[in-house]
Amino acid sequence: MSEQRSRSEAKTDAATEVEVPKEPSMLLQKELISGHFDKLAEAHERGQKVVYTFVPGNLTELLLAFDVLPVLPEINALQAGMRKKSGAYITEAEKLGHSEDVCSYVKCDIGMARTGLGPTGKKMPPPDMLLLSYTGCFTFMKWFELLKQEFPNAEVAMLHVPYQGDGIVTAEMRDYVVKQLRTEIVPKLEKLTGKKLDEDKLKGLLERSARAEEDLVWVLESGKHHPSPIDGYFGGVFYIGPIFTAFRGTEEGEHYYKVLREEVAGRIARKEGPITPLGPLNDQRYRIVVEGPPNWTSFREFWEMFAVEGAVCVASTYTKVGGLYDFGFRHDPTRPFETLSDYCLGCYTNLNLPSRTGMIAKYVKDYQADGFIVHSVKSCNSFSAGQLLMLREIEKRTGVPGGFIESDLVDPRYFSAANVKNRLESYFQMIEQRRRGGVGAASEVSP
């Protein structure tokens, strides 16, 4: 039944896709990403190696220095979700014995792996290496163990990135990661590709990363303008796409962020808002900070629920999962291993709860937000466990009311549109009512 539903949804989605206006950079982004999937499909034919790894703590510059292509299973899963294919893959994985209780990215990926295809329908090459970057998410570890079962011939390399339990990165933590890069990751990549690491090439890539990061931060911080020229959550997903995946350190990536920055600068000058699925959002009634990943299976519908109320997301934490740059960190080509370590250690889900709480509270203030919404997803305990306490703490610190909604990443069974919409409407109306500061004649009557 759910398959049937997914199919019919896919139909309406494809139909609306044509009509929805997009920012030019979004089209460029789409080209980049689908180009990468095209490149992957023929990678082995070209003799190019393929390494599977994760978005948080991805070592793209290092991989590209070895001329290997990265595959990001979370991206595959979310792309499958956006294309309404995830439901069937998850069902398939559950048939194989996976519990309904666990992460839907994993199940979607396992289900998809069995088809040999990627989310765009192109061939997905099996991994030559599984580079397990254990950063900010326990499930990653099990995920790659499961993939190892699917692809027994793949080499496995594990990069254990310690957690910022005390809210800081110590010299020993950095040193531990650097040592692993030197003794585990690099030797395995050298063995895989048959070539030595070209440090100059790596430095060149890192230099480009830093420049793109500069532009990315400028774009993300443009959400401080009134009106905000960007949607830092739904739109932000597009903006982070290239730098969180295969394009950090590349020329295309650097170019993309230049184009994006110019585009956003133009909107700032014209006092325009971002383009949402409902068109430009110039009349912004609510400035919102969002915590938690988006829902992918109903991504557009979800965004529309904000746009229709005139709500713009000025900042989000999800746009920091693949790298936290707005507190000053940039890749530093002069210290390639140390900088990669710092990058990994600093990803958002590797921060402890007090740090995350403080960061959101800071966003609420710095971006002059009217509110913040926690989107809690069933799949991701790394994000979700503790969010209710964070919500309360942030309310206490900022005096701004928090909203709480729940769904999932790519399991369509857990997105209840009516439920989410009901809460969002109630939340925005509450802000509106509080803003008016009174109900005028809130007359009292006898019961």
Partner 1 sequence: MSVEAFECFVGIDLGSTTTKAVVIDAAGTILGRGITNSRSNYDLACEIARSEAFVDAQMSRLRSALEADPVLAAHAKVLGPSLERSFRHRQHLRQLATLRRSCLGLSGETEALRAALTAILDEMQVLAERMFSGLAGADAKKSEFFRDIAGAQFQKLAEGKAEPKKLPYEDIVGVFDKAILKVENEPDDLTFEGNAREALDRTLDRYGKQGVEIRAQALAALDDLLAHPPVTRCSVGTGYGRARLPFPKAQIRSEILCHGLGAHAMFPGTRTVLDIGGQDTKAIQVDGDGIVTGFQMNDRCAAGCGRYLGYIADEMNLGLHELGPLAELSTRRVRISSTCTVFAGAELRDRLALGEKREDILAGLHRAIILRAMSILARSGGVMDEFTFTGGVANNPAAVRALRDLIAENYGERRLNISPSSIFTGALGAALFALRDAQTADAAAGEAAGADTFQEAQA
Partner 2 sequence: MRSAAEIAAVCEEIVLDVGLSCVLRHRAESGKKAIGFLPIYAPREVVEAAGMLSVGVLGGGDQIEIIRGDAYFQSYICQLPRSVIEMGLSGKLDALDGMLFPAICDVIRNLSGMWQLLFPNKYVRYIDVPHNHDWEVGGKFYVHDLRELGRGLAGVSGVTPSDDRLREAIALHNENRRLLRALYDLRARAPHLVPTAEAYVVVRAGYQLPVEEHSAIVREYLEAARVSGRAPLDQSRVVLVGSFCEQPPLGLLKTLERAGCYIVDDDLVLGARFLRGDVDETGDPWEALARAYIAHGSHTSSRYVAGEQKGEYLIDLCKKRKAEGVVFCAPSFCDPALLEQPMLQTALEAANVQHTSFRYSENTAQFQAIHEQAGTFSDSIRLWSEDQ
DSSP tally for the chain: helices H, then strands E = 19, 10
Instruction: Assign residue 437 a region (left: φ > 0; alpha: ψ between -120 and 50; beta: otherwise).
Output: left
Q: Does 419 bind partner 1 (CB under 8 A)?
A: yes
Q: Does 101 bind partner 2 (CB under 8 A)?
A: yes
Q: Does 432 bind partner 2 (CB under 8 A)?
A: no
Question: Rounded to the nearest whole angstrom, what is the least distance from the CB of residue 248 to partner 1 in the complex?
Answer: 36
Closer to partner 1 by CB, 325 or 415: give it.
Answer: 415
Closer to partner 2 by CB, 201 or 413: give it.
Answer: 413
Segment 373 to 402, residues that bind partner 2, using CB under 8 A: 376, 378, 381-382, 384-389, 393
| Distance from C-alpha of 154 to C-alpha of 151, rounded to nearest angstrom | 6
Closer to partner 2 by CB, 91 or 284: give it.
Answer: 91
Closer to partner 2 by CB, 47 or 97: give it.
Answer: 97
CB 228 within 8 A of CB 222: yes
Nearest to 238 by CA among 33, 430, 38: 33
Q: Does 143 bind partner 2 (CB under 8 A)?
A: yes
Question: Rounded to 5 degrees, what angle do the CA atoms 237, 76, 262 make?
Answer: 30
**DSSP characters over 198-227:** -HHHHHHHHHHHHHHHHHHHHHHHGGGSSS
Nearest to 325 by CA among 425, 412, 184, 212: 212
CB 292 within 8 A of CB 383: yes
Q: Pick from 329, 392, 410, 412: which binds partner 1 (CB under 8 A)?
A: 392
Helix (H) or strand (E) run with residue 14 in it: helix 2-19
Q: Pick from 126, 162, 280, 401: which binds partner 1 (CB under 8 A)?
A: 401
Q: Does 114 bind partner 1 (CB under 8 A)?
A: no
Question: Rounded to 5 degrees, what angle do the CA atoms 105, 110, 115 make?
Answer: 125
Residue 138 phi/psi, 5° resolution?
-65, -40
Q: Does 404 bind partner 1 (CB under 8 A)?
A: yes
Q: Does 98 bind partner 2 (CB under 8 A)?
A: yes
Question: Rounded to the nearest whole angstrom, what is the least distance from the CB of residue 155 to partner 2 in the complex?
Answer: 11
How far is CA 269 from its chain centroid?
28
Q: Does 175 bind partner 2 (CB under 8 A)?
A: yes
| Distance from C-alpha of 287 to C-alpha of 274, rounded to nearest angstrom | 13
- Region of 40-48, 90-98, 219-227, 282-290 interacting with partner 2 (CB under 8 A): 90-98
Q: How many residues bind partner 2 (CB under 8 A)?
A: 52
Interacting partner of 138 out of partner 2, partner 1, none (Cβ under 5 to 8 A depending on kind): partner 2
Q: What Cα–Cα distance (Å) separates residue 239 from each residue in 256, 260, 319, 333, 342?
A: 9, 8, 8, 23, 22
Q: Pick from 97, 194, 328, 440: which binds partner 1 (CB under 8 A)?
A: 440
Q: Pick from 14, 96, 168, 430: which binds partner 2 (CB under 8 A)?
A: 96
Closer to partner 2 by CB, 264 or 405: give it.
Answer: 405
C-beta contacts of 151-156 below 8 A and 24+ residues apart: 151/113, 151/126, 151/127, 153/126, 154/52, 154/126, 154/127, 154/128, 154/129, 154/130, 155/128, 155/129, 155/130, 155/188, 155/191, 155/192, 156/129, 156/130, 156/132
Interacting partner of 384 out of partner 2, partner 1, none (Cβ under 5 to 8 A depending on kind): partner 2
Q: Does 2 bind partner 1 (CB under 8 A)?
A: no
Q: What Cα–Cα distance (Å) separates residue 119 from each residue in 7, 49, 79, 94?
A: 15, 20, 6, 19
Question: Rounded to the nearest whole angstrom, what is the least distance from the CB of residue 340 to partner 1 in the complex?
Answer: 39
* Rg (alpha carbons) of the chain, rounded to whole number: 22
- Region of 154-162, 223-231, 268-276, 280-288 interacting with partner 2 (CB under 8 A): 154-162
Q: Does 417 bind partner 1 (CB under 8 A)?
A: no
Q: Does 172 bind partner 2 (CB under 8 A)?
A: yes
Q: Does 418 bind partner 1 (CB under 8 A)?
A: yes
CB 278 within 8 A of CB 234: no
Where does this chain bind partner 2 (CB under 8 A)?
96-99, 101-103, 106, 132, 134, 137-139, 141-143, 145-146, 148-149, 156, 158, 160, 162-163, 165-166, 172-173, 175-176, 179-180, 183-184, 352-354, 356-357, 376, 378, 381-382, 384-389, 393, 406
Where does this chain bind partner 1 (CB under 8 A)?
388, 391-392, 395, 401, 404, 406-407, 414, 416, 418-419, 421-423, 425-427, 429-430, 433-434, 437-447
